A = this chain, B = another copy of it.
């Protein structure tokens, strides 16, 4: 499993916020009901999004949350990073918090030569980060709008058997 439900729920939450528009705050209760998610758990998740300045909150009665920016300005790398902490593909990767979600392998040398898996995990990580960065919240909201359930709606470069049953 790459990601935990934190990422899943968090993204669902953002989508729900995006659907509602940014004029009025939406209560967590409403989102929890709509998406059928545990409210108490959502509270902890939305806290992560707030710390990352992806959502803003209004306290008190009729309060709630709203997106801090337009959905087209929210890319998924920020979101997933905020929710999951870091995106290390492997345990030995250690966060250097330079600017983006890059992390580095801490095995510089066991037994003289460096660890060869570094190349592999780095490639994977860069790939994932790039994929996430290229997907915006707006896309997901839009996707959910159309959604006549269809596989291969993603980036599915599979020129294969075109004839279904």
Contacts and interface: CB of A to CB of B under 8 A. Distances in A.
A127 B128 CA distance: 7
Interface residues of A, number: 56
A113 B154 contact: no
Contacts of A90: 1-3, 7-8
Interface string A98-136: 000000100011110111111111111111101110010
A151 B94 CA distance: 13
Contacts of A12: 115-117
A76 B120 contact: yes
Contacts of A118: 154
B126 A128 contact: no
Given A5-B91, A89-B2, A110 B35 contact: yes
B116 A123 contact: no
A144 B113 contact: yes
16 contacts: A1-B89, A3-B89, A8-B91, A8-B92, A11-B120, A36-B110, A36-B111, A114-B147, A119-B140, A120-B135, A120-B140, A122-B153, A122-B154, A122-B156, A123-B131, A127-B127
The 9 A-B pairs with the shortest beta carbon distances in the complex, nearest first, are: A116-B144, A122-B154, A2-B89, A127-B131, A114-B147, A119-B143, A116-B140, A123-B154, A127-B127
